[in-house]
Amino acid sequence: MTTYVMKVLIAFDQLANAVIGGHPDETLSAAAHRRHLEGRSGWRNLINALFFWQGDHCLDAHASEVARKQLPKEYR
């Protein structure tokens, strides 16, 4: 997948999370893992099942958010 397509998919993912009341710069997957850490699992199992080939997709998404990998290099 091209970098442009990934950026657009991440933007839609973050928009969906913001629309449901989440942080505007956090993906649904990262939010699901953060909620799991807070004791509120919710959607984590379903999201991980959708991305079954990635192991623990939500954990990886959360780690990516914490490392700020979606930010341009100028903002890291």
pLDDT in tens, 21-35: 999 999 999 999 999
Q: Return the higher-pLDDT residue of 68 and 61.
A: 61
pTM: 0.83
Closest among 2, 33, 1 to 17, alpha carbons compared: 33
Q: Where are the beta strands (DSSP E) in 1-76?
A: none
Phi and psi, residue 9, nearest 5°? -65, -40
Instruction: Look at residue 71 in the predicted model and tell me its pLDDT.
Output: 78
Helices (H), 20-43: 28-37
Q: pLDDT by residue (tens digit) across 8-66?
A: 999 999 999 999 999 999 999 999 999 999 998 789 999 999 999 999 999 999 999 99
Distance CA 11, CA 26 (A): 9
